[in-house]
Amino acid sequence: MPRARRTIGIIGGSTLAIALLAGCAGGPDGQVNAGLMDAGSCKALKRELGRYEARGIQYKADAANRGARLSAKQRQDVRRYNALLDDYLGNRCHV
């Protein structure tokens, strides 16, 4: 069991790293969007993302991407997590 958790942790961490790197890439014309949020808003997004990550939602998102069946509540959490991550990366909060 510990080995499976370690593997899941590596996969989840890799997925987050890829998402962060993808957020650093510029748009189709090479332009990077200017940050649209102030530092307080970015902190609020990061705090909420942290709550979802503490509950392991990023692993549920990975499972959903692989086609695993999730409950309605889990799907809702995954959608909210992905929306938060999109906002966080899209507004360049990670920079």
Angle formed at CA 16 by CA 81 and CA 7, multiple of 5 degrees: 110
Query: Domains in the chain: how many in total?
Result: 1
Burial 54-68 (b: 16+ CB within 10 A, else e): eeebbbbbbbbeeee
Structural domain contains residue 76:
yes
**HSE (side-chain half, CA atoms, 13 Å) at 71:** 4
Structural domain contains residue 61:
yes
Amino acid 30: pLDDT: 40
- Spatial CA neighbour of 61 closest among 78, 76, 49: 78
Q: What is the mean pLDDT of the chain?
A: 76
The domain in which residue 18 lies consists of 2-27+37-90
Amino acid 18: pLDDT: 55
Structural domain contains residue 32:
no
pTM: 0.59
pLDDT for 26 beyond 60: no
How far is it, in rounded angstroms, from Cα 74 to Cα 94?
Answer: 26
Structural domain contains residue 95:
no
Structural domain contains residue 21:
yes
Residue 35 confidence class, pLDDT cut points 50, 70, 90: very low
